[in-house]
Structure 1
């Protein structure tokens, strides 16, 4: 082009059109190379003619706002937008255009055993199963751990019916174990046998008698013979005395030394008051009129008690002593009037549990005290019908 005019094909164009005119440098064929493009000039012109619709048809009907088909079966009311996109309204899970029931929103699946129901991507209303604690999607499922609130059970878990149930803990502390009341055990005491768990899960056995029979009645007689008949005592004399009544023959000395005449049951030896302020006491037993000749041979001697309570403080470790005197004076009220007296010796005593009130058998009997009594009646100042004082101390 060497002039200032040119023609162009403007078919399909309408409205304001922008042109750029660029210079050519001595090129005479269409295949030449453009140069000096920066020297081009821009201009605009108005072109009158039919407008292209959204489908590129001049003057066509596919204009913004008119119906179209976006090809998506999940939408309705498809229409051309202002930028010529065919867009429809999405159907919600209830089939309502632009409705609220969209995937991820809440719904009701009609199942009382689920919660937090929502529409999924396939528009199916699905809830989370309620666990045994009523929590949707929770972890409290049958077979998982729980707490039934019962301290006597263990390994608690939810059942298929959502009951929290544990296994009974046996006497050895094992859930669902075999150590149940009435079953064998070992109480660790070699002097008992046939040990079994009691209703309170205490392992206890029956005392083995001198014949080796648990719970047997055979005892060693005064002659030292198991299950004997005291044959050695032919021609001997037996005397049995109660503690003196006046003055008081049974007195308790508190830890602080104060003396208390007993008006009720005697303590051996821990104070049985509701507030045991006397502590571990020393107990005195004064016997008047002991009819044993001076120099007699003492074959057997013991203290016999009767249980007045089933309350026991274990372990019970006692010492039974006898005052070193040919005629022991009455106890009196002087502080430390028992623990201050000299003794010929002591004998250890570990009495078993006294579980039955009014029992007065071997369990309530002291060990053999013949050796202590022999020392007293052998004294030169001892006479028949003199007094003896036994002292019991220790713990329990």
Structure 2
């Protein structure tokens, strides 16, 4: 609206760009126009844009006129199908309808398993209710003989059960059974292989377990077998004569040792990684192969066990167990009486705190970066020494 004024000067009404300039005449002042030579480009810092990365949010033009979004958990990994599951864990990152990832619940179609879950290879697998496991003595120090005088041999080529000039005590250690703590032991036995067809009768044996959370291997120190604490459970065995070398049949198999193994796996300190020791004493003789005599024919312990069902079989947890409800704004997550995992709400519950920095999403200026905890009202420095009292404003800009 330029006109001649009363002093015969030509003057116009100032605009926002007066004194700043707008070379391309697009109405965007040159101090903020990302391209002041192109009237079709009106981009300026703060404008919405699309950075072409579907793993970022709230894309805007930054101060350097670049389009940048706020990183999310999938930034750097990708999410090709845009289903919110990052490519590094998505079982099919080309199908947005398939959001399966390792650890998710699934159904393996087998009614005899519980706790079905997506595995690392994205297959669905549950834990069998009934299991059979075996462990063979697998090192020279895992079978041993202790004489009546207390000396211990770790290198014998056979195991006399139990008379070898005088009655001795035999110990065997079985590792790697991987039986869960508290499992219900259905059946257990040790299979021997005949080393010598010599029989001293009557042969009456007693079988114990070592009452230990995780039994160590044997050593040559005196009384290393007899000094070990034993289970309350014991099994009597009067084996029939062993008539042929290398036989490994019912006559060479112990009676059911379930009560002995059960007492061990029920111990509070027992874990699936624990080893189990079996101790045999008595009178008479049957002679079995040892690890040093034939490693492939050393004694082998086989156990059949059933999983003890927890309160909540679908999630393999008991009521009151610690869990993770997937909400980082709750604390003290536990399994409740309805088998749901729930935590105690905090100030951010229902609002969110994606980066877990303790600043709720409605206030956090970057809720995807735990290193940025700025919120409106915080002191800052706008880089302009001609302003005072610089603070983060409602739009998360620093202004004085």
TM-score range (shorter-chain normalised) is 0.3 to 0.5
- Whichever of the two has the greater Rg, that structure is 1
- With the length of structure 1 as denominator, give the TM-score of the two structures: 0.38
Q: Which has the higher contact order (CA 8 A, sep 6+)?
A: 2
- With the length of structure 2 as denominator, give the TM-score of the two structures: 0.38
